[in-house]
Copies of this chain bind each other. A is one copy, B any other.
């Protein structure tokens, strides 16, 4: 089989072709089985070292990458910003060069600055995986969302996906738009004009400011987390108001098509962007997203380390 994946890094889904993205999804499908075994380890990356460099904290993503590396038999070192030399005024590049001098094989980086992963990837021999860079991209989140839809619906071609919430500052939204449009889905962004400006239409998506307009036609509805701990209360009047206008309340959930998938990248604010019972309901695939995230990250670590892609398993 021709080797389709040739990159040592994954910085942004925007950098990769439809074919490359499919290779990751297909490889993830093969790895998903490992998590269901009693012995959840394969020796693929034995003797390799991965560093989780989280300059911005995130327990969930850190753990998902840590488990992915462990299941591939790699060794993991965790660095979080507050303890790191970065505090002593060292630049990100110096930190990264040091990691390379230590012959680290993979660097997973979460950082508040857009472009930080690419900046490192261009300068280091080590593989660099973006685990979220500012409001730019969060490629493995986009991949796991696409993986989940493809797994549940059999395809992404023609699937109508509504993404609801704070799109403007969301790297999750940006990575979703990249992969979903490339793989043939029809994406609608939903939220107040302050958070979902019309300019997004240039990305090949539809913009809607009224959730009730799109709710009945969606095959997938993805509720983004309202970052109320960061919000400076300028973009919408308050949480209650947000829920009333854009939350997936029980009432709105009744308007969904019965087979519509309900997604959320987590952690959820139950009762804000999504009703608590709806989040736990039959249509919710929120925990599948978590499971699939691990499979997708195994695939990414494996492919960026030079592993041979697995043959496509689904036809989509």
Contact yes or no, A57 B77, CB < 8 A: no
Chief secondary structure at chain A's binding surface: mixed
Contact yes or no, B83 A80, CB < 8 A: yes
Contact yes or no, B287 A90, CB < 8 A: no
Complex interface: stretch among A64-72, A113-121, A156-164: A64-72
Contact yes or no, A40 B35, CB < 8 A: no
Contacting residues, chain B, for A97 (C-beta < 8 A): 287
User: What are 26 sample pairs from A and B whose C-beta atoms fall under 8 A apart?
Assistant: A35-B103, A37-B47, A38-B47, A39-B47, A40-B103, A41-B47, A41-B75, A49-B67, A49-B70, A51-B63, A57-B83, A59-B83, A59-B84, A59-B85, A67-B77, A67-B102, A67-B104, A70-B75, A85-B267, A90-B267, A90-B268, A91-B270, A94-B266, A94-B268, A98-B287, A101-B290
Contacting residues, chain B, for A287 (C-beta < 8 A): 97-98, 100-101
Interface residues in A258-284 by Cβ distance below 8 A to B read: 266-270
A196-237 CB mask vs B (1 if < 8 Å, else 0) is 000000000000000000000000000000000100000000
Report the minimal beta-carbon distance from A89 to chain B, rounded to whole angstroms.
6
A229, B60: Cα distance in complex, Å? 31
A31, B240: Cα distance in complex, Å? 55
A3 touches B (CB below 8 Å): no
A244 touches B (CB below 8 Å): no
A17 touches B (CB below 8 Å): no
Contacting residues, chain B, for A250 (C-beta < 8 A): none
Interface residues in A94-113 by Cβ distance below 8 A to B read: 94, 97-98, 100-104
Interface residues in A279-308 by Cβ distance below 8 A to B read: 287-288, 290-291, 294
Report the minimal beta-carbon distance from A148 to chain B, rounded to whole angstroms.
11
Contacting residues, chain B, for A103 (C-beta < 8 A): 35-36, 40, 291, 294
User: CB within 8 A of A48: which of B40, B88, B100, B291?
Assistant: B40
A290, B100: Cα distance in complex, Å? 9
Interface residues in A42-60 by Cβ distance below 8 A to B read: 46-49, 51, 57, 59-60
Contacting residues, chain B, for A38 (C-beta < 8 A): 47
Number of copies: 3
Given contacts A49-B70, A79-B63, contact A267 B102 (CB under 8 A): no
User: CB within 8 A of A47: which of B40, B46, B66, B77?
Assistant: B40
Residue of chain B at shortest CB distance from A78: B78
Contact yes or no, B41 A46, CB < 8 A: yes
Residue of chain B at shortest CB distance from A51: B63
A83, B59: Cα distance in complex, Å? 6
Residue of chain B at shortest CB distance from A79: B59
Contact yes or no, B70 A267, CB < 8 A: no
- Other A-B pairs, 19, CB within 8 Å; known A89-B229, A98-B266: A35-B103, A39-B46, A40-B48, A40-B49, A40-B103, A41-B47, A41-B75, A49-B70, A59-B83, A59-B84, A60-B85, A63-B77, A63-B79, A67-B77, A88-B267, A94-B267, A94-B268, A103-B291, A103-B294
